[in-house]
């Protein structure tokens, strides 16, 4: 079973499939997306972002800029002569955002608070732009659990440090839990794109997400450490025996908020070391730079295959469906065609 685009001649669909669960937004004159330097009153968000299909997030501005340029080559997207790729949110001084045809490439910073703030505003951006069925990716780095550095891991579940599959939020003095669910079909579609001649393994496994890089991840090289080597190893071995393959700091919030908004999402990370063997990263910068490109390659393959099958990779300045055009494309289910 797969999906394809069917062209229709009626007007472009005027409804977003993204769920914004906040009736108070209807009472506002405009919605200011402060950390993106955008607003529903100051910008024509539908004209700017209505054709978005994919939102790709990573930690640093530089990494996502590099990803945007890689993507331009992969999908043959060209910008007009004399212009350059622009950071849309450069005046926010918080996050960076680049648009490559139907793909947004955005830095989310470090940790769950940072990615949570961004997701609130990106989800609202998708809603205001009337985006239909977007797919979100987090592309990042992590510490492996029993896996060598350079391994690509597709998260099948995001859990906290106690292995609970939900995000806990303190709202009005109460604890609110939101399930951290990721799309299973998307995980296996990504896994199918790992090539036999890739010089590294690509695996699916559980991801632990913590709110701290040092003590919260059982590291013994921080400014503080009140546990022994034996206690550390006992905890890491427990994670491994429960199917955990890596540890990072964003997946829990990413999974919980995208799921709450009805958005299909995946987390793809590379390991920078095996935490069962140590805490510090000793590999040369050029090695780490190459490793960090591995999750990007896999996501690029997915986007390129998706767009290629729908005739949306163009060798001109268009690069994607223009939402101002009277033409629109309807997503229709095809029973007879597989993803591959």
Task: Tell me the C-alpha distance between 271 and 252, whole Å.
Answer: 17
Q: What does the pLDDT read at residue 2?
A: 37
Closest by CA position to 292, among listed 77, 62, 119: 62
Q: Which residue has the tokens 């958005």?
A: 263
pLDDT digits (tens, 9 = 90+) for 123-155: 999 999 999 999 999 999 999 999 999 999 999
Burial 203-239 (b: 16+ CB within 10 A, else e): bbbbbbbbeeeeebbbbeeeeeeeeeeeebeeebeeb
Alpha-carbon distances, residue 40 vs 48, 242, 328 (angstroms): 11, 45, 23
Q: In this structure, are residues 124 and 131 in contact, taking their beta carbons and an 8 Å threshold?
A: no
What's the DSSP call for residue 228? Answer: -
Phi, psi dihedral angles at 150 (to 5 degrees): 95, -5
251 vs 267: CA distance, rounded Å: 7
Per CATH, the number for 2-334 is: 3.40.50.1580
The model's confidence at residue 102, banded by pLDDT at 50, 70 and 90, is very high
Query: Which whole number is the average pLDDT over 315-334?
Result: 36
Q: Tell me how far apart the alpha carbons of residues 209 and 224 are, in angstroms, rounded to a whole number.
A: 20
Instruction: For tokens 């685009």, name the residue.
Output: 5
**Separation of alpha carbons 137 and 56, rounded Å:** 5
What's the mean per-residue pLDDT of the chain?
89
185-203: average pLDDT: 97
What span, in angstroms and rounded, lies between the C-alpha atoms of 187 and 338?
15
pLDDT > 70? residue 33: yes
The pLDDT value recorded for residue 9 is: 38
Of 109-113, 121-125, 137-141, 318-322, the range with the lowest mean pLDDT is 318-322
């Amino acid at each position: 079973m797969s999906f394809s685009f069917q062209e229709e001649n009626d007007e472009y669909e005027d409804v977003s499939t993204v769920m914004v669960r906040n009736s108070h937004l209807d009472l506002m004159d405009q919605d200011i997306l402060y950390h993106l330097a955008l607003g529903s009153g100051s910008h024509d968000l539908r004209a700017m972002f209505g054709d978005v299909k994919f939102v790709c997030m990573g930690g640093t501005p530089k990494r996502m800029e590099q990803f945007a340029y890689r993507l331009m080559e992969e999908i043959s997207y060209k910008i007009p002569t004399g212009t350059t790729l622009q950071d849309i949110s450069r005046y926010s001084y918080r996050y960076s955002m680049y648009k490559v045809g139907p793909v947004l490439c955005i830095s989310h910073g470090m940790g769950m608070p940072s990615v949570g703030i961004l997701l609130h505003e990106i989800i609202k951006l998708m809603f205001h732009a009337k985006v239909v069925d977007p797919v979100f990716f987090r592309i990042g780095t992590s510490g492996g659990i029993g896996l060598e550095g350079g391994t690509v891991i597709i998260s099948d579940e995001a859990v906290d440090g106690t292995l609970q599959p939900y995000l806990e939020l303190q709202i009005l003095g109460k604890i609110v839990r939101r399930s951290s669910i990721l799309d299973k079909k998307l995980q296996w579609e990504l896994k199918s794109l790992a090539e036999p001649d890739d010089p590294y393994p690509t695996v699916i496994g559980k991801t632990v997400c913590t709110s701290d890089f040092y003590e919260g991840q059982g590291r013994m090289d921080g400014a503080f450490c009140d546990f022994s080597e034996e206690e550390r190893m006992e905890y890491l071995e427990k994670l491994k025996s429960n199917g955990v393959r890596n540890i990072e700091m964003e997946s829990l919030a990413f999974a919980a908020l995208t799921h709450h908004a009805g958005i299909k999402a995946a987390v793809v990370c590379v390991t920078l070391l095996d935490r069962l063997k140590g805490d510090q990263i000793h590999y040369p910068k050029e090695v780490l730079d190459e490793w960090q490109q591995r999750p990007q390659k896999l996501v690029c393959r997915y986007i390129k295959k998706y767009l290629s099958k729908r005739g949306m990779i163009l060798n001109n300045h268009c690069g994607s469906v223009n939402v101002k055009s009277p033409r629109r494309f309807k997503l229709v289910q095809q029973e007879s065609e597989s993803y591959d």
